[in-house]
Amino acid sequence: MTATQHSHDVHQYPAHFEPPHGSTWKLLFGPGLVRGAWMAAVGFVLGMLLVLVLRAWWSWDPAWNTEVILVVGGMVFAPLGFLAGIGSFDYWLYYISGRPTRPEDHSGHGAHSWKDYFRVNTDHKVIGIQYLVTTFVFFTVGGLMAMFFRAELAQPGLQFVDSQTFNGLVSVHATLMIFLFIIPAFAGLANFAVPLMLGAPDMAFPRLNALSFWLLPIAGIMFIASFLAPGGAFGAGWTGYAPLAEGQPLGQTFFNMGVQWAGASSIMTALNFLVTIITMRAPGMTFWRMPLLVWANFTTSLLVVIATPFIAGSQFFVMFDRIMHTSFFTPEGGGYVLGYQHIFWFYSHPAVYIMMLPGFGIVSEVISSMSRKPIFGYRLMALSLLGILVLGFSVWAHHMFVAGMADWLRVPMMITTLLIAIPTGIKVFSWVATLWRGRIHLTTPMLFALGFVTMFVIGGLSGIYLGSVPIDIAASDTYFIVAHIHYVLFGGSVFTIFAGVYYWFPKMTGRMYDERLGKWHFWLTFVSFNATFFPMHYIGLRGMPRRVFDYESAFGDMNFVISIASFVLGASFIVFVYNIVTSWVRGPIADANPWRARTLEWQVSSPPPIFNFDEIPQVVGGPYEYGVPGARHAVMNPAKEAQEVHA
């Protein structure tokens, strides 16, 4: 793996807080996964005792309540214990307790061996890779679940699973894909690229950055562990509508609480991006000189900090209804059922843009540098992001056109929904215009970017159908919706993630991926993706509802074809994994700037030096001035190659 130069000796700390070296003592009590494991166990026991003692004290019978103990012990105290154990809070605790902190906290910077990826590390480049590897692991798990329920759906009737398992598979699949793959994978790519693009040495809050990463595995494990709960995994869909969710077995709590950890992670990262982008731009890097990926993450982060607290609230309320017998959403207690949907969608509609805008940014980078042309209409591209940001908060009820909400809300929300097509259209047309008369390098990231543009147009157009209330009334809650969300989230977001991973792979690893395998991956994915999801428009309109394990036999043939195509789609991912793994280990060494791109991350070595820039770059022009004679984005000393250091 990669090793970067480091001038700071990681072992030079004041002795009184370093555990003795090389002993079992250090393994057990030094920050790391071992201490994380036992501190999680201790946390669980503490939480359990707290519940038991309080319940016994108030003479509540029985003192033992599995769900409460699970929430307090398993889902709050144990994760906190784990985080403390791996060392997320060490610095802060030393600081609070007045003990000497590490004088210059560059200790956690850089990765010198693969083991450093399993520790709390404050280097944004390491964290970016941690994010990406973790999210792809969850992508694999979520994908396998999809293979499983597509096998079930290949024929009408029940073949492999019972209906609770089916609902669990569908719900956990969607939840993992959204909260553990698309959102954090974008955060990972941005973590790696944004500080470099800004000319900054790191994110504004490196320790917070590390903490936000480590919240993710907690959320992911919680979602998956719900399968072990009595009664099975949560099965009310990723939307977890009340009151269904309130009557679900124990597994639902795993969703309510998992969302808190994933949400907290998103919010912390978003705050970090906002502060980084606002305060840590290199001299000369005005807003209008920022690459569009930075713009995209700026707007996404605004969406996240404003919207995410709402989903956190909605899930807390459901959990309170479940275990504390509040009545937020139960009509018997005076609650309002539709209130859940309003709060949920007030987050989850902006969330679809949280899942898309970073992809817009990636694609802008890729298309511009692979077409060797400035991005067409740079300012309008940035402004349209802001337009989507603002409009995105005024359309949530388009998910509720058939929910029975106030009638008068339908037409205004339809109008705002349709208006979002305008900034979205501007973006699509501008990417296409960037291609015009370019010198197009059809590399793998470019293939995925172009695949994205065409597939996203289909997804956006089906969105227009759904934006029209009367059509939505017919199409809502059917497979047409499933088709729409996969065109925007798979053909859209996932394609851009692939584009981004291929594009920055040489920068991250210092090695080049295999172009031939990359093309195979693209074409297999592109064809099987369409074969899987396009027919879903049809069966949906014709009468197949979503989230069903059984359906009319008339849809049998179509579903069989879809299932076969989905297996090919699943298999195409193997090509990607093989390519990435083998190239990472023994791919050819990559140049500092294999794409001859203009943005700052390409002006330093691959992988970049430990503090990114040996000298602070001075930004003097726009980021995409391809073909402009003599134009420069920044002046800086030539890239210093990172040296392999073998300690």
Partner 1 sequence: MRKGIVQLVAIGIVLGVLVTLVAVLFQWLPTSASKEFDRIQDIYWFATVISIVIFSLVGAVVVYSVWKWRVPLDDDLDGPPIHGHTGLEIAWTAVPAILVIALGIVSAVVLSENGQASSNALQVKAIGQQFAWRFEYPDYGDFQTGELVLPVDQQAQFTMEAVDVIHSFWVPNFGQKMDAVPGIETTILVTPDRTGAFAVVCTELCGLGHATMRAKARVVTQAEFDAWIAEQKA
Contact call for residues 467 and 421 (beta carbons, < 8 A) = yes
217-256 residues in contact with Cu ion (CB under 5 A) are none
Give residues with Cβ within 8 angstroms of 316, minimum separation 6: 256, 260
Contact call for residues 268 and 248 (beta carbons, < 8 A) = no
Stretch that binds partner 1, among 64-72, 79-87, 277-285, 472-480 (CB under 8 A): 472-480
Contact call for residues 254 and 226 (beta carbons, < 8 A) = yes
Question: Is the peptide bond prior to 230 cis by the omega test (within 30 degrees of 0)?
Answer: no
391-410 residues in contact with ligand HEM (CB under 6 A) are 398-399
187-216 residues in contact with partner 1 (CB under 8 A) are none
- 489, interface contact from partner 1, Cu ion, ligand HEM, none, CB < 5-8 Å by kind: ligand HEM
Contact call for residues 186 and 133 (beta carbons, < 8 A) = no
How many residues lie near ligand HEM (CB under 6 A)? 24
- The nearest distance, CB 494 to partner 1, in angstroms, is 19
Q: DSSP code of 178?
A: I
249 is an interface residue for partner 1 by CB under 8 A = no
Give dist(CA 131, CA 209) in Å, integer.
Answer: 11
How many residues lie near partner 1 (CB under 8 A)? 90
Using DSSP's 3-state secondary structure scheme, residue 217 falls into helix
CA angle at 316 for the pair 315 and 319, rounded to the nearest 5°: 90
485 is an interface residue for ligand HEM by CB under 6 A = yes
SS (H, E, C) 237-259: CCCCCCCHHHHCCCHHHHHHHHH
- The nearest distance, CB 38 to Cu ion, in angstroms, is 44
Q: Which of 139, 149, 504, 626 binds partner 1 (CB under 8 A)?
A: 626
Q: Which of 32, 463, 607, 608 binds ligand HEM (CB under 6 A)?
A: 463
Structure tokens at 287: 């807003």
Give dist(CA 80, CA 214) in Å, integer.
Answer: 11
Give residues with Cβ within 8 angstroms of 415, minimum separation 6: none
437 is an interface residue for partner 1 by CB under 8 A = yes
Write the binding mask 200 to 239 for ligand HEM: x where contact by CB under 6 A, - elsewhere. Answer: ---------------------------------------x
Radius of gyration of the chain (CA): 25
Structure tokens at 33: 């996964």
- 527, interface contact from partner 1, Cu ion, ligand HEM, none, CB < 5-8 Å by kind: none
342 is an interface residue for Cu ion by CB under 5 A = no
Give dist(CA 453, CA 461) in Å, integer.
Answer: 12
CA dihedral 564, 570, 575, 577 (to 10 degrees): -170
Q: CB-wise, 349 or 521, nearer to Cu ion? A: 349
Contact call for residues 302 and 389 (beta carbons, < 8 A) = yes
Exposed / middle / buried, residue 379 (Cβ in 10 Å: 0-12, 13-18, 19+):
exposed
Q: CB-wise, 534 or 567, nearer to ligand HEM? A: 534
476 is an interface residue for ligand HEM by CB under 6 A = yes
350-389 residues in contact with ligand HEM (CB under 6 A) are 352, 355-356
Contact call for residues 389 and 307 (beta carbons, < 8 A) = no
- 356, interface contact from ligand HEM, Cu ion, partner 1, none, CB < 5-8 Å by kind: ligand HEM
- Nearest residue by C-beta to Cu ion? 349
Give residues with Cβ within 8 angstroms of 122, minimum separation 6: 105, 108, 109, 202, 206, 207, 209, 210
Q: CB-wise, 278 or 628, nearer to partner 1? A: 628
What is the DSSP annotation of 341-379? HHHHHHHHHHHHHHTTHHHHHHHHHHHHHHHTSPPTTHH
Q: Which of 106, 109, 349, 427 binds Cu ion (CB under 5 A)?
A: 349
Q: Which of 282, 488, 508, 580 binds ligand HEM (CB under 6 A)?
A: 488
Q: CB-wise, 415 or 589, nearer to ligand HEM? A: 415
Stretch that binds partner 1, among 183-191, 403-411, 582-590, 609-617 (CB under 8 A): 403-411
Q: CB-wise, 221 or 457, nearer to ligand HEM? A: 457
224-243 residues in contact with partner 1 (CB under 8 A) are 235-237, 241, 243
Contact call for residues 252 and 587 (beta carbons, < 8 A) = no
- The nearest distance, CB 2 to ligand HEM, in angstroms, is 32
Q: CB-wise, 545 or 570, nearer to ligand HEM? A: 545
Q: CB-wise, 353 or 502, nearer to ligand HEM? A: 353
Q: CB-wise, 116 or 152, nearer to partner 1? A: 152
- The nearest distance, CB 397 to ligand HEM, in angstroms, is 9
Give residues with Cβ within 8 angstroms of 182, minimum separation 6: 355, 489, 493, 494, 497
283 is an interface residue for partner 1 by CB under 8 A = no
Q: CB-wise, 213 or 551, nearer to partner 1? A: 551
588 is an interface residue for partner 1 by CB under 8 A = no
- The nearest distance, CB 196 to partner 1, in angstroms, is 22
Using DSSP's 3-state secondary structure scheme, residue 233 falls into strand
Q: Which of 152, 202, 321, 472 binds ligand HEM (CB under 6 A)?
A: 472
Contact call for residues 292 and 378 (beta carbons, < 8 A) = yes
2 is an interface residue for partner 1 by CB under 8 A = no
Among 190, 287, 272, smallest CA distance to 601 is for 190
Q: CB-wise, 469 or 561, nearer to partner 1? A: 469
* Burial state string for 287-313 with b = 16 or more CB within 10 A and e = fewer than 16: eebbbbbbbbbbbbbbbbbbbbebbbb
Contact call for residues 129 and 548 (beta carbons, < 8 A) = no
- The nearest distance, CB 318 to ligand HEM, in angstroms, is 17
539 is an interface residue for ligand HEM by CB under 6 A = no
Q: Which of 481, 499, 604, 610 binds ligand HEM (CB under 6 A)?
A: 481
Binding residues for ligand HEM, per CB under 6 A? 239, 352, 355-356, 398-399, 417, 420-421, 424, 460, 463-464, 466-467, 472, 476, 481, 484-485, 488-489, 492-493
Binding site for Cu ion (CB under 5 A): 349
